[in-house]
Amino acid sequence: MTSESKIVYSQNLCSDVRPLLDGLTPEQIFIITDTGSSKYCLNALLSALPELKGARVIMLKEGDENKNLDAVISIWRFLVENGATRSSLVINLGGGMVTDLGGFAASTFKRGVRFINIPTTLLSMIDAATGGKTGFNFKGLKNEIGVINKASEVIIYPAYLQTLTKEELLSGYAEMIKHALLSSENDLMELLSSAPSHIEPEMWLEIIRKSLQVKENIVAVDPMENGIRKALNLGHTVGHAFESFSHQNAMLEGGKPLSHGYAVAFGLTVELFLSYKHNGLDNRLLSMVNSYIREHYGTYSIGCDDYESLYALMLHDKKNSAIGAVNFTLLSKPGSPEINRTLTKEQIFEALDYFRDAL
């Protein structure tokens, strides 16, 4: 289920996507999108490729709280009721929620129908749409159920970025900072000397290509995440705990949960501190990244009373290899990740103390 996806970097959907559709000769096309992405991106796709006007559209409710089994069932039901076969094609048009849910539903329907991802957010272009991870949230845990199965094609069309808010761009930029940390100090400096809302539209294609290459190189070596792919988890052990925790609080108390990219940015702060403290990372790099995150992402407010809940969430991280231990990816310098580093509860709590002081 994990053959390579082809990534198409496109400035023109019509000339770049039409030959792909012709080559796949689908019997029927289904477009899965959500109420947010459909506003501009679906119309732009249908204008560029009028032949898709006959496709059946499955509209999901936007928002990570809707990334659940009910949404998957609604997709399967629509596919059954509209006569989808194994020769059908699913096009996932949207952010990470759509590509994760649509990819999972397509991968499991009739044991797998082909799907194309057309990510519409920077976050999904940089991460969710490539590499084959699909799935949904379950029992308050991020992406707890899923399969790894790559899209036949991933279309990166940076013109969609023009519709995003500054916060949405920053959310994707956090994953780019993570890729740069896994690549080199030069790549990191380039990102930290700019901000996503200052990047000229014509520059995005190359910037995204460079960042995605870091992920592609890692995934090519370890597609099923048995080893080095866990390096892509940098910032995510703590980031996912912050994100799930913020969703739980939003359900109980209202308010806005953290977006994935912001949670990763804050998770990076904690995990770079752990890298400094336990893996020899230069303090200068920790300070530089943290100043950038503080200036652009602000902070996330947690208290000492929250540490146990956050730790419990970290214990559920999928990359943990033993019960009762939390696995981290730590850096010794940019481009040199070390996976499967377990740290004690006291060490993790010390890093949460640092987070509260530093941000």
Q: Measuring CA to CA, which residue among 340, 165, 172, 328 is closest to residue 264?
A: 172
The nearest distance, CB 282 to ligand GLY, in angstroms, is: 25
Q: Which residue is nearest to ligand GLY (CB)?
A: 232
The nearest distance, CB 141 to ligand GLY, in angstroms, is: 15
Integer-rounded Cα Rg, in Å, for the chain is: 20
The nearest distance, CB 90 to ligand GLY, in angstroms, is: 20
CB-wise, 120 or 130, nearer to ligand GLY? Answer: 130
Alpha helices (runs of H) in 222-344, residue ranges in sequence order? 236-253, 260-279, 283-297, 307-315
Angstrom distances, CA of residue 140 to CA of 67, 243, 248, 320, 349:
11, 10, 7, 17, 22
The nearest distance, CB 51 to ligand GLY, in angstroms, is: 32
CB-wise, 75 or 232, nearer to ligand GLY? Answer: 232
Query: How long a stretch of residues is the chain?
Result: 359
CB-wise, 55 or 232, nearer to ligand GLY? Answer: 232
Strands (DSSP E) found in the chain: 6-9, 29-34, 56-60, 89-94, 114-119, 133-138, 141-148, 153-156, 326-333, 336-343
The nearest distance, CB 341 to ligand GLY, in angstroms, is: 17
What distance lies between CA 115 and its chain's CA centroid? 18
Output phi, psi for 122, to 5 deg.
-65, -40
- The residue ranges that bind ligand GLY (CB under 6 A) are 127, 131, 133, 229, 232
Within 13 Å and on the Cβ side, how many CA atoms surround 74? 16
The nearest distance, CB 272 to ligand GLY, in angstroms, is: 18
CB-wise, 129 or 326, nearer to ligand GLY? Answer: 129
Within 13 Å and on the Cβ side, how many CA atoms surround 340? 7
CB-wise, 131 or 135, nearer to ligand GLY? Answer: 131
The nearest distance, CB 336 to ligand GLY, in angstroms, is: 18
Residue 141, SS3? strand
Q: Measuring CA to CA, which residue among 103, 135, 108, 136 is closest to residue 119?
A: 103
What distance lies between CA 116 and its chain's CA centroid? 16
CB-wise, 174 or 191, nearer to ligand GLY? Answer: 174
CB-wise, 260 or 296, nearer to ligand GLY? Answer: 260
DSSP state of 142: E
CB-wise, 67 or 229, nearer to ligand GLY? Answer: 229
Tokens at 229, concatenated: 């792919």
The nearest distance, CB 218 to ligand GLY, in angstroms, is: 8
